[in-house]
Amino acid sequence: MNLVPNAQANMASNNQGGVLYVVATPIGNLGDLSERAIQVLHQADIVACEDTRHTHRLLQHLGLRKVTLSVHDHNERDRIEQIAKHLSEGRNIALVSDAGTPLISDPGYPLVNALRAMGHNVVPIPGPSALITALSAAGLPTDRFLFEGFLPHKSSGRRERLEPLINETATLVFYESKHRILDTLQLMVDAFGSEREACVARELTKTFETYYHGTLQSILQQLNVDNDQTKGEFVVMVAGNPNPVTGSSYDTEKLFKLLLVELPPKKAAAVIAELTGENKKELYQKALEMQGKV
């Protein structure tokens, strides 16, 4: 298949104005940049990027000098009108993130959503994605998976995000940084159990690419052995629950009557959630109703 002519055809296909190309770039290995992506970057009038310094290095590698425009989490909505004006005036724009596919845990959603609503042409240029790359070699089921992206920064927020996933049967996929990887794995052990099968991918496509296979507890132990193993960027994949709790055999009302004598509503709800797998917030609401506080 000849991809370059397709890219050229796409550039010429929109007579109403310019095109926004959503261009996937390498997650580590520059050899993963597709011929079609290279062609689009060559022909683009403007490159909208997460970090102009980072993207300049990629463009320099390709021997390109381009007008760049920063589009990141803090200014993306403010850039919509400016980019729409460029497109209306017939300029083609390539949207890239620092690595991988834009919008996948990277900036771009508000921009693409707004431009589509305005009627502008948005064309994807597929390529590397850490999510798909990691899953393809993890050895975990991929017929169904749930991408959760980055968990919250605080441990309490991460714990709250993990709790509703305890009974999920699809493979779970998370992104994580070197600063939180050990803490996050420990929280996963606490939430999903130490024996839940998992795989952690580190530094994908780079020199020190590493896959860790085993139970959550064994992977946590592997990473704890050597500080160097906690450096880099991580994709954490957790097998779905093989024995999900589909219904509770517990009488939650009876449990509440027993526990609320000794415990405050929030604590009682947390204990019952741990026993039954039910949603802690819903149980807390039920506890307040039983005490006549709502």
Q: Residue 116 corresponds to which tokens in the numbers above?
A: 């589509």
CATH of domain 3-127: 3.40.1010.10
Inter-CA distances, 135 with 28, 76, 93, Å: 17, 30, 31
- Nearest CA to 210 among 178, 187, 186? 178
pLDDT class of 3 with cuts at 50, 70, 90: very low
User: Which amino acid, one-letter code, is at 135?
Assistant: L
Is the distance from CB of 129 to CB of 106 less than 8 angstroms? Answer: no
- Using DSSP bridges, classify how beta strands 233-238 and 171-177 pair: parallel, antiparallel or unpaired: antiparallel
Task: Give me the architecture of the 131-238 domain, per CATH.
Answer: 2-Layer Sandwich (3.30)
pLDDT class of 248 with cuts at 50, 70, 90: low
pLDDT at 32 over 90: yes
pLDDT at 202: 97
pLDDT at 249: 61
Q: Residue 93 corresponds to which tokens in the numbers above?
A: 């724009």
Strand partners, 147: 173
Burial of 89 (0-12, 13-18, 19+ CB in 10 A): exposed
Is the distance from CB of 140 to CB of 196 less than 8 angstroms? Answer: no
pLDDT class of 279 with cuts at 50, 70, 90: confident
Is the distance from CB of 91 to CB of 18 less than 8 angstroms? Answer: yes
48 CB-side CA count, 13 A? 29
Strand partners, 93: 20, 46
Q: What predicted TM-score, i.e. pTM, was given to this entire model?
A: 0.79
pLDDT at 6 over 70: no
The rounded mean pLDDT for the chain is: 91
Residues in the chain: 294
Residues 256, 269: Cα–Cα separation, whole Å: 8
For 76, the enclosing helix (H) or strand (E) is helix 76-88
Burial of 13 (0-12, 13-18, 19+ CB in 10 A): exposed
pLDDT at 34 over 60: yes
